[in-house]
C-alpha cells in the first residue's frame, strides 16, 4: 500500500488537531499565523488521507489512524455503479468494418461484444488491426472471429469498488472493463464500462481542495 510523507506544516496541523480537536480551520490558521486559504490544501490532504476527520459546524478532529494511504480508503468506498459510463457495444455478427467505424466514431480503444445483452467478448484495436491487414474482407468477417471470448474477458461487477476496478486493469494490463450486473435471468448483463480515464477523473475529483 502506498504511503504518504507529511510536510512539517501538515505535521504541525496534525499535532494541533490531536491536542485541541475538534477545532475549526480558522482556529488552526490563527494558531499557525497563516491564512485559511494557505492551509486549505494541507487540511484537504490530511482529511482525504484519513489522518483527521471533519464534521460541518464542528471542526477537525484526530481520527487515530496513522500513515494511511492518500486515496486507497476512499476508492474502496466508491462503487463502480456510481461512476460507470455508457458502454459501446456491438453484437457478435457485427462486421469487422462496422466495428472499426464504431470504435473510431466513439473514440474508444475496445468494444464490448454482447449476445442478448449478455457479455460475449471484447474486441480491441489490435484484434481489428489483425483482421484489417489479413487476407479476409473486413466487410464480411464478424467480430466474433476476432474477439476475446468470455470467460477470458476481465470484467467488474457494478457493486464492486473502483479500487478493485483499478487493480484489475493494472494486473491484466487492460484500459477498460465491462461492468456487469448479475441476476438470475442475465448473470452477465452488460450495464456499463469503467476505464483508466474513469479512475483518472476520480483522482482529479479527490484532489480538488474542499472546505469541510
Angle in degrees, CA 181, 182, 186, rounded to 5:
100
Q: For 159-204, how does the pLDDT look when each residue is reduced to its tens digit (9 = 90+)?
A: 999 989 988 998 888 999 999 998 877 778 999 999 988 988 887 7
Average pLDDT (31-41) is 89
Question: Smallest Cα–Cα separation from 68: which of 1, 16, 13?
Answer: 1
Average pLDDT (6-33) is 90
Give CA–CA dist 154/198, Å, rounded: 16
What SS3 state is found at 90?
A: strand
Average pLDDT (78-87) is 93
Task: Produce one character per residue of 173-188: b if its CB has 16 or more CB atoms within 10 Å, e if not.
Answer: ebebbbbbbeeeeeeb
Neighbours of 49 (CB within 10 A): 22
Query: For residue 212, what pLDDT band results from cuts at 50, 70 and 90?
Result: very low
pTM over 0.85: no
Query: Is 70 exceeded by the pLDDT of residue 207?
Result: no
Range with the poorest average pLDDT among 1-5, 29-33, 42-46, 112-116: 1-5
Contact 120, 113 (CB under 8 A): yes
Neighbours of 168 (CB within 10 A): 16
Cite the residue boundaries of each domain of the chain with CATH code 1.10.10.10.
8-70
Three cell numbers, residue 66: 496513522
pLDDT of residue 1: 41
Assess whether the previous peptide bond of 22 is cis (omega < 30° from 0).
yes
Cite the residue boundaries of each domain of the chain with CATH code 3.10.580.10.
77-195
Query: Is 70 exceeded by the pLDDT of residue 142?
Result: yes
Q: What average pLDDT does the chain have?
A: 86
CATH code of domain 8-70 = 1.10.10.10
**Which CATH superfamily, name and number, covers 77-195?**
CBS-domain (3.10.580.10)
Amino acid at each position: 500500500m502506498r504511503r504518504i510523507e507529511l510536510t512539517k506544516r501538515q505535521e504541525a496541523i496534525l499535532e494541533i488537531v490531536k491536542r485541541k480537536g475538534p477545532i475549526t480551520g480558522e482556529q488552526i490558521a490563527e494558531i499557525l499565523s497563516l491564512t485559511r486559504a494557505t492551509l486549505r490544501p494541507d487540511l484537504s490532504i490530511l482529511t482525504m488521507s484519513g489522518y483527521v476527520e471533519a464534521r460541518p459546524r464542528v471542526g477537525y478532529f484526530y481520527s487515530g489512524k496513522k500513515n494511511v494511504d492518500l486515496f486507497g480508503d476512499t476508492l474502496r468506498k466508491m462503487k463502480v455503479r456510481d461512476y460507470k459510463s455508457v458502454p459501446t457495444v456491438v453484437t457478435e455478427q457485427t462486421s469487422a468494418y462496422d466495428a472499426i467505424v464504431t470504435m473510431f466514431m466513439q473514440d474508444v480503444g475496445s468494444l464490448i461484444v454482447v449476445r442478448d445483452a449478455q457479455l460475449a467478448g471484447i474486441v480491441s484495436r489490435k484484434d481489428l488491426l489483425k483482421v484489417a491487414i489479413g487476407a479476409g474482407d473486413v466487410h464480411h468477417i464478424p467480430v466474433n472471429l476476432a474477439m476475446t471470448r468470455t470467460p477470458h474477458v476481465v470484467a467488474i461487477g457494478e457493486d464492486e469498488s473502483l479500487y478493485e476496478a483499478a487493480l484489475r486493469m493494472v494486473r491484466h494490463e487492460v484500459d477498460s472493463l465491462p461492468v456487469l450486473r448479475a441476476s438470475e435471468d442475465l448473470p452477465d448483463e452488460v450495464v456499463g464500462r469503467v476505464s483508466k480515464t474513469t479512475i483518472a477523473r476520480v483522482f482529479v475529483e479527490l484532489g480538488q481542495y474542499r472546505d469541510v
